[in-house]
Each structure stands twice: as structure tokens, then as C-alpha cells.
Amino acid sequence: MKEKVHFTKMHGAGNDYIYVDTSLYNIKDPATAARVWSDRHKGIGSDGLVLIGQSSMPEADFTMRIFNADGSEAMMCGNASRCIGKYLYERTHPWPLPVKEGNGYQETVIRLLTLSGIKLLFLRIVNGIVESVTVDMGEPVFEDGMQFNPAKAPLAHVRADEAIFVSMGNPHYVIFTDDVNEVEILGKELEHHPAFPERANIEFAEMRPDGIRVRVWERGSGITQACGTGACATAVAACKTGRAGRKSHIIMDGGELDIEWRETDNHVYMTGPAEFVFEGEVDIVL
């Protein structure tokens, strides 16, 4: 027996996902659905599947679960959370949360529950359209306390002074280089390296006058057009190593993001666009 499931495809800086409202559809096996639907030749095509739900906790308004293209579940995705903000505001009527007037625009805040905790989404709205979303990504975590042991399993091809481990709710290894295209050669090897027991997202970053050029190998998805948590990890790594200040402009394959690591609360804030691509229906086997 099959059921039709309505989906929306969206992207944030080229990082594209399939979005399904679980208040309307029960996706019993999201890991399999992610693998099948994400196939770019035989499916819809995406970096993964995002499930949007209603929160049962009073501390959060909505929930997010995200499954990579290989079916593995991710803790958090910055680009996907921005898209969720746009999806919810432009698709939910009437809008249930307070809206504040600004100077020529409006603002509203969504509390989004993820596996990395509750994230705040600050939506900037112009003429009823979400123009941009800023996500409070929380505090970065460095090697202390993380499952990371490069001494036990040295990372080939990478010098210690070129790389730094940063967690933004999920693990990232940021490598500063003059050739970001090395990610195509080393990304998969490093994702599965014994130094990372839970695997890792890999960023190759080049400092440029107009910003930081980054290419990403995402855990469970391979090379993607952009990665929100990866952009945050890169900005934090650049600041931590003295390569940049507290604000960075990140240039990825699919678009650009602005990242601020604030001294006031030690939180990382990511601002960028979110776009609808198309909608459709797909079969799911019950």
C-alpha cells in the first residue's frame, strides 16, 4: 500500500533538502526515505530529508529532525534551520507567534528544537516574505571533552598548525589551505579517519581579501554546496587561530553566509538566505 506525501524542496546557499511537515504525514522510516528520495538520478535529489514537527515542550515552538543522504541522522544543520524558518512563516496561517515592527521590516522569533538543543531563529520579513534568517547556533566547543584523538591516529596530509577541531553541535575539522579543492581528494578519507570515532564534517578553508573561501565534505552526504554549521565552525576556527576577527564572510560553492562569534554571550550567529525550489508529491510505502 502506498500513500502520497507532499514535500517542499528548499535550499540555503545551495545546501538543498526535502522538507516534510510531520503534522500532516507520518514518515515511519525516515532513514530509508532520505536515502531513496535524495538520489539525484532516481529520486527527488537532495542533500537529505528534513522533518518539521510541532513541539510538545513549552520551551520550543517547533521541532526539526534531519537525515543525511545516506540515511544517517544529523544533530543540526544551520542552512536547513534557516529554510525551516522561511517555510513555517510563509506556510503557516495564521502565524501563531508575536511579530515585531522594525524600520521598514518585521521580525519574529522561532524556538526550534533540534538534537543539539533549542536554536533561536530570527526572521527578517519584508512585505510578508522572509528576506533573511539569523540563527543563534550556540557556543562552539573545542577539542577538550570531544572524542578526538589525533595522537592515537595521526592525520596524514595535515599539519597541526593548519587545522582545528570545532563542534557546533556536530563535529567539524577545519583545515586552512591554499587549495580548497583538496576536499575532493581528502574529504572522504578524513570523514572516516580513526581520529574521529563518530566521523566528522571536513572543511577546507582559504583566507581571501573578500572573505573565507570554504569547501565542505559533509558527514553522510559528501561534498555539498554549503554547510551552515561548517561555515560557523570555519569562522570560529579562523578567529581562534588569529586569522580573522569576530565577524567573517564565508564564501561557499552555493552561496555566501555572514557569521558573528559574539564576545557578549560566546554564541555564534549565522545570517543568510533561504529559498523555495519546488513542491511535489512522492510515494511512500506504508
Q: How far apart are CA 217 and CA 204, in angstroms?
A: 9
**Grid coordinates belonging to 112:** 526550534
- The residue-averaged pLDDT of 142-146 equals 66
Q: Are the beta carbons of 48 and 34 closer than 8 angstroms?
A: yes
Same domain for 54 and 119: yes
Does residue 271 have a pLDDT over 60? yes
Burial group, residue 22, by CB count within 10 angstroms (0-12, 13-18, 19+): middle
For 136, other C-beta atoms within 10 Å of its C-beta total 20
Classify residue 153: in a domain, yes or no: no
Which range of residues forms the domain containing residue 83? Answer: 2-138+273-285
Same domain for 210 and 183: yes
Same domain for 165 and 50: no
Same domain for 222 and 202: yes
Q: Taking all residues of the chain, what is their mean pLDDT, rounded to a whole number?
A: 93
The angle at the Cα of 29, spanning 25 to 34, to the nearest 5 degrees, equals 90
pLDDT tens readout for residues 233-243: 999 999 999 99
pLDDT tens readout for residues 226-264: 999 999 999 999 999 999 999 999 999 999 999 999 999
Based on the structure, what is the number of domains in the chain? Answer: 2
Q: How far apart are CA 236 and CA 207, in angstroms?
A: 13
Same domain for 190 and 242: yes
Q: Report which residue type is found at 94.
A: P
Residue 45: CB partners within 8 Å, gap ≥ 6? Answer: 16, 38, 39
What percentage of the chain has pLDDT greater than the value 90?
A: 85
pLDDT tens readout for residues 62-90: 999 999 999 999 999 999 999 999 999 99
pLDDT at 197: 84
Q: How far apart are CA 258 and CA 267, in angstroms?
A: 14
Same domain for 91 and 186: no
**What is the maximal distance between C-alpha atoms in the chain?**
58
Confidence of residue 48 (pLDDT cuts 50, 70, 90): very high
For the annotated catalytic residues, the residue numbers are 77, 227
CATH of the domain at 281: 3.10.310.10
CA distances from 61 to 67, 119, 202 (A): 21, 10, 31
The gap from C-alpha 203 to its chain's centroid, in whole angstroms, comes to: 13
Does residue 154 have a pLDDT over 90? no
- Spatial CA neighbour of 15 closest among 194, 203, 271, 275: 275
pLDDT at 147: 56
pTM: 0.90
Q: Helix, strand, or coil here: 82? A: helix
Q: Identify the residue whose cell numbers are 582559504.
A: 206
pLDDT at 55: 97
